[in-house]
Amino acid sequence: MTDSTTTPQPAPTWWGARVIDSVHRLVPTTTRKGNPGVLAELRRYTTTRPPSVAAAGVVLRAAPDDLSMTTVRHTLLTASLLALHPHHQAGAGNLGASLGRFRRARDGAGAENSSVDKRLEVLVAADRNALHHHLRQAITLLATKSVPVDYVQLLSDVIGWDDPRLTARGMTRGEEIRLRWMADYHRHAHANTTPTEENK
């Protein structure tokens, strides 16, 4: 791991899926024992409480050795969210899409106003220091309706949250991430299909 905290890190293309898969294997199922103890340690991780050596090891052994310490922190954060709500689904879209599905499932596609709208507004306005807190709240909310999350995509978005580099569209990567969350939230919140039909 490197000590650089200022150089923007690339999106976790190949290694993100490997990290998420290593954490997801901790979840007990009918066919595997998993490791509930390490999963519980990851759930308790916060920016002021480091994970146990065993919990960190599961994550960091699957990640490249040249990540900055900042990216290591973002990766552990995302792993802790997966441990909190272990319903990973590749292709589920960004967190805005997942929150939109939650809103539709709870309030209906035709609902004019929803408390989820405000939650998303607060989330996309959050700076890096507040992001962990608001993400935990959002993931906890999604867990109440078992709405799936693409944690590989979430990891990529968390890493790029305050990335100042410009995209091909002339905006910073961080700004584009936020706008995509907003757009996909509204698209899924007001879709006519049910979550079950959409995920087929």
Quote the DSSP letter at residue 11. P
- Residue 186's pLDDT is 95
Q: What is the pLDDT of residues 18-65, one digit of tens each?
A: 999 999 999 999 999 999 999 999 998 877 788 899 999 999 999 999
- Residue 15's pLDDT is 93
Calculate what percentage of the chain has a pLDDT beyond 70. Answer: 90
Domain ranges of the chain: 12-84, 87-200
**Residue 58 CA to chain centroid, in angstroms?**
18
Burial of 119 (0-12, 13-18, 19+ CB in 10 A): middle
pTM of the entire predicted model: 0.89
State the DSSP string of 38-94: HHHHHHT-BTTBPPPHHHHHHHHTTS-TT-BHHHHHHHHHHHHHHHHS--B-TTS--
The answer to whether the beta carbons of residues 149 and 95 sit under 8 Å apart is yes
The answer to whether the beta carbons of residues 27 and 39 sit under 8 Å apart is yes
Confidence of residue 173 (pLDDT cuts 50, 70, 90): very high
Q: What is the pLDDT of residues 134-168, one digit of tens each?
A: 999 999 999 999 999 999 999 999 999 999 999 99
Q: What does the alpha-carbon distance between residue 74 and residue 61 come to, in Å, rounded to a whole number?
A: 15
Domain 87-200 has CATH 1.10.520.40: yes
Q: What does the alpha-carbon distance between residue 74 and residue 156 come to, in Å, rounded to a whole number?
A: 9
Tokens of 117: 């709208």
* Torsion of the alpha carbons at 41, 44, 46 and 49, rounded to the nearest 10: -70
Please report, as a single letter, which amino acid is at residue 105. Answer: A
Question: Other C-beta atoms within 10 Å of 38: how many?
Answer: 20
- Residue 165's pLDDT is 92
H or E segment and range at residue 133: helix 128-143
